[in-house]
Amino acid sequence: MAARNITRSFFAKTRSEGAGATVRRCLGGSSTLDPFLLCDIFEVTPPAGFPDHPHRGFETVTYLLEGAIAHEDFGGNKGLIGPGDVQWMTAGRGIVHAEMPASNMPSRGIQLWINLSREHKMIEPAYQDLKDYDIPRAKPEPGIEVKIIAGESFGVKSSVFTRTPTMIMDFKLEKGKKIIQKIPKDHQGFIYVLNGIGYFGGNQFKGEEHSALFLDDNGDHISVEAKDGDLRFVLFTGKPLKEPIVNYGPFVMNSEEEIFQTMFDYDKNTNGFERAKNWRSSIAN
């Protein structure tokens, strides 16, 4: 089968988000990539953060690179996401939570929003919390490490359950190394370059730090070469849902009517937002 090519790249500039936080938004707003709705590379230092806010209709995947993020939701679920950890939160019918830095050093990481299909949008909220040491790595040869947050690489599988079929992998290649990663033929995908420069896809597209690189639709693998120096990038692929997307901030449904119903539910604390009534987080208030 053919190798995937890179069709376009986007340099993610910094912008303010949340309460005083900074993000490089490499996907989101007007540009989504079904099933992905948003991808932020965030940097946040106290007193900034992402105070009490809701979600409905999708999943958030928070992958921490440095520092620590404390989270607390309206059901009393609370915890700490540390370096290398992943929080896979299925908001489903509704979550209200806060996500705040818990280190005086800047906390850096990636937050990806994955859409849920019509049949899953109103499921009960759920969490899959992955500690760094629990996340499997593939080391196909010296100088190459693949951290498998979701999906499979070189026969090593993640334990994460993905309602919307998804692959998320963090690749570290030493200078001179080349890798070929299998990609399901029905997935769309993009790459975010965290550090260094790499040559991506059959067309050897030069990708640099802070750039998002978008894959074309055909092919069952992607090739990457670290010709110029050490390289670190994250690969995201997912199976498109091919459903209408109607969003209003942190609410993502299939129709305007469902968005109006969601806004009503959030306002009246009904239909999944009951626990939001009079709730305030302890970490952001």
Ligand X SMILES: Nc1ccc(F)c(C(=O)c2c[nH]c3ncc(Cl)cc23)c1F
DSSP 202-225: TTTEEEETTEEEEE-S--SEEEEE
How many residues lie near ligand X (CB under 6 A)? Answer: 13
Q: Which stretch binds ligand X (CB under 6 A): 15-23, 88-96, 219-227, 254-262?
A: 15-23
In this chain, which of 27, 36, 43, 50 binds ligand X, going by CB under 6 A? 50
Q: How far apart are CA 150 and CA 160, in angstroms?
A: 6
- Least separation in angstroms between CB 52 and ligand X: 10
Tell me how many helices (H) and strands (E) the chain has.
Answer: 1, 26
Q: CA 257 to CA 12: how far, in whole Å?
A: 33
Nearer to ligand X, 98 or 138 (CB): 98
Q: Which tokens go with 79?
A: 């915890």
CA distances from 14 to 21, 26, 235 (A): 10, 10, 20
Q: Which stretch binds ligand X (CB under 6 A): 17-25, 133-141, 149-157, 188-196?
A: 17-25
State yes or no: residue 115 binds ligand X (CB under 6 A).
no
Minimum CB distance to ligand X smaller for 20 or for 140: 20
Q: How far is the CB of 237 from ligand X (least distance, A)?
A: 20
Those residues with Cβ within 8 angstroms of residue 258's Cβ, 6 or more apart along the chain or in another chain: 121, 246
85: contact with ligand X by CB under 6 A? no
Residue 201 C-beta: closest distance to ligand X, Å: 27
Torsion sign (Cα): 166, 232, 130, 32: negative
Among 111, 166, 211, 281, binds ligand X (CB under 6 A): 111
**What does the binding site for ligand X look like in residue numbers (CB under 6 A)?**
17-18, 23, 40, 42, 50, 53, 62, 69, 99, 111, 249-250
